[in-house]
Structure 1
Amino acid sequence: MRGSTAGLGDSLAGASKTNGALLEFADVVFASVIVAPAVVTYWKSTWSLMDLYVLTAWPVASAAACAAFGLCCDLVFCVFQTQLSEHLRPARRKLLYYVVSRMYTCVAGAACVGAWRGVWNLLNECTGDSARTLMSTTVAATLSLAALRTLRNICAAPFAVAVDSPEDYFNVPTMFRTSSRETALYILDCVFSVTVVGSLVVFVWRGSWALLDIFLYPHDQVKSFWTSLVVGYSLVILTFAAQAPVRWAVAKLQGAPRLLLADVYHLISFFATVNVWRGIWGLLDVYFFPDSPKLSNWSSHIASLVLLILLNCSNSILVRGVYIDAEEPAGDCVEFPCHYLRLFFQKERVKNRRKTLETTSAANARKVEEASVPLQIPEEKV
């Protein structure tokens, strides 16, 4: 769900300003209209299926089981990410890589949803759902993430699209960026990243979502969900529109003011995100086979997952890795990782350049070879 933009600016260079602006606009539309609804649909359907099948008679045990399953899987995938990257490469066995990598996404996606559902519901059972409690836990979690410089991790689609590229398919950045060779420190780093930072992100989402349930038309759910959707997408448009001036301002600042501006910008994008998610989530419950929850959730689960796999951005459903606030240079730290079409056309340009270079090299080699052949002078007839 999250991502970094480090190095993307250089890799996307080479296109004209007009083409670049058009591709950027197309990426924003693609992330907002296609990827975000598909990701929300996957999460909603998977969450609801767990409600239907996982220890339904015992809410606390159900939440604990989901949390244990999800956090353990997330930790295993984080610890063994280097081994997965080394042994699963398309250059070795392309078909095996494709099948195993997509199975990894399916398991990791279910684990992410399970971890969130478990922590979310356990928090509901332990702290209740009063407005005062929700406000205090949300503010505390937000300040904790800001103090750790990890506030940007609360953002998700439509402000992040994870392309399924072989180079970093299994990559899970950890909080302290320790090397896998430092076994003990690396495992502790993975545990902290998955459990502490991940749980704080859940706290912020749960509190913000529940506060919207309390204050935004609580007696008219349909109106509440539609309002969330409209407000969310309106803020999405404003946030993307403000990206250029915010990037310019962040590039001019240094130190604490730069970090503060980046955090405020990410908080605004998060408020847009949580409204979009709540709107789509609630409207699916209202309009998509409301009287047949199993049919509704199974069909939407399969359709959304298959769509994202075919679009080559299925890793957008995963919540993994810890990204540090303002870690990129200049204004790149407030650029959202929505580079789907731009990366595609960049790869095509690279392929065309390689083909041109190979053709030119082959032609030059033929010329050299022809020039090196000695001239044959025919013998005169006697």
Structure 2
Amino acid sequence: MRGSTAGLADTLASGSRAHAVLLELADALFASIVVAPAVVAYWKATWTLMDLYVLPENSVGSAAVCTAFGFCCDLLFCLTQNHLSRYLCPDRGRLTYYVLSRLYTCLAGVACVGAWRGAWNLLNECTGDSAKTLLSTTAAATLSLAALRSLRNICAAPFAVAVDTPQDYFDVPTMFRTSTRETALYVLDCVFSVAVVGSLVVFVWRGSWALLDMFLFPDDQLRSCWTSLLVGYALVVATFALQAPVRWAAARLHGAARLLLADVYHLVSFLATVNVWRGVWGLLDIYLFPDSPKISNWCTHIVSLTLLILLNCSNSIIVRGVYIDGEEPAGECVVFPCHYLRLFFHKERTKKRHRQALAAAALAANRKIEEASVPLQMPEEKV
């Protein structure tokens, strides 16, 4: 769910320090107040629609169908990412690219929700929901991700905003970064990234969510959801506020110490994320047309997806790719990829500089033409 921030600091490092701080604060607010609720609403609506339409009388069969569909689509998108990037680009037609890329997002979003719902429900059927089992499976999955240096993949909105840029619209980073020229190894890499790492992330989310259901006011759903939402956003504020000192500390640490700091910081951000998601999800169930689940969830699905597409960050709904803990240099490994407004203003500044450079070049060319067109005056002969 989380993107890489490698190289972004240097790209966006322009303007005054106060201006940069204001944009960073605006990005955090945008990710927390706009993107995160919209992403959660999309997932909640799509998940519930699958409950209503995909073999509703057979829970195991429904989970199996969703798992097969979701993982097959995720694997297909991973295997064909280079071909999609090559043939679906604005250079081949902007309207065609825009329509097909957004259709890709719609299908990939449904596939991701299906894969998660299937694995989540199959785990419920196979392991049960006792506290001891939940704690053990969650701890085992968390330690496994940490051992694979991929714990950061449990993070999601509001700590990750995927901007829909043509350059990396279809990119799906794999665990071992295998080249597509090594066909067999690349296929195995994609399978491992989608099936193993993806499943471990689902296990962590499922266990954490179920434990909150079990211990956070289990007899009062409304109170439980509001508490989860408030706790989640309080942790979001604290996590964003701690980013500067944690980044400073990470830049001065090396090796295992820096990796441990990054993992702890990502775990704190995950606790904030899962509480926010659980709170928004539960409150939508309670307040948004609870007596008409089909109308409620279809409206939520369409409105949230349309909003994210119009905001140019619809890929935030997709869970894809494997990002390695500490792969960015120095303190960049603890920077969350929430660069929506900063990327927008950087793009506008780049366009302005380009226009100014073109205008200056045109002015210089005009001056040369004028100088060349002035006739040379012959010196007067002396009498």
Write the distance in 2 (CA, Å) between the matches of 1:307 and 1:135.
37
Q: CA deviation at 1:373?
A: 2.6
Aligned equivalent of 1:229: 229
After superposition, the C-alpha distances for 1:340-368 in whole angstroms (9 at most, x for unaligned) are 00000000000000000000001111111
Aligned to 1:143: 143
Residue 231 of structure 2 aligns to which amino acid in structure 1?
A: V
Q: TM-score, normalised by structure 2?
A: 0.98
Q: 1:370 is matched with which residue?
A: 370
Q: Say whether residues 1:130 and 2:159 are aligned partners.
A: no
Deviation at 1:372, TM superposition (A): 2.1
Output one character per residue of 1:228-268: Cα deviation in whole Å (capped at 9) or x when no partner. 00000000000000000000011110111110010000000
Q: Percent identity?
A: 72
Q: Distance in 1 between matches of 2:289 and 2:15?
A: 46
Give the Cα separation in 1 of the matches to 2:14 and 2:329: 20
Q: Distance in 1 between matches of 2:369 and 2:335?
A: 51
Distance in 1 between the 2:374 and 2:40 partners? 71
Deviation per CA, 1:261-305, whole angstroms, max 9, x where unpaired? 100000000000000000000000000000000011000000000
* DSSP 3-state at the match of 2:92: coil
Alignment deviations for residues 15-47 of structure 1 (CA, whole Å, 9 cap, x no partner): 111111110000000000000000000000000
**Partner SS for 1:20:** helix
Residue in 2 that maps onto 1:220: 220
Distance 1:179 1:16 in 2: 40
1:369 is displaced (CA, Å) by 1.8
Unpaired segments of 5 or more residues in structure 2?
Answer: 379-383
1:30-179 to structure 2, matched below 5 A, reads 30-179=30-179
Letter in 1 for 2:213: D
The residue aligned with 1:265 is 265
Cross-structure match for 1:187:
187
Structure 1: gaps (5+ residues): none
State the partner residue of 2:381.
Answer: none
Counterpart Cα distance in 2 of 1:2 and 1:106: 19
* Distance in 1 (alpha carbons) for counterparts of 2:242 and 2:122: 38
Q: 1:199: which partner in 2?
A: 199
> 1 CA distance for matches of 2:282 and 2:254?
41
1:323 match: 323
How far 1:376 sits from its partner (Å)? 6.8
Count of residue correspondences: 378
2-structure distance, mates of 1:91, 1:373: 40
Amino acid at match of 1:354: H
* 1:345 matched residue in structure 2: 345
The Cα of 1:336 is off from its aligned counterpart by 0.2
Secondary structure at the counterpart of residue 291 of structure 1: coil
2:298 aligned partner = 298
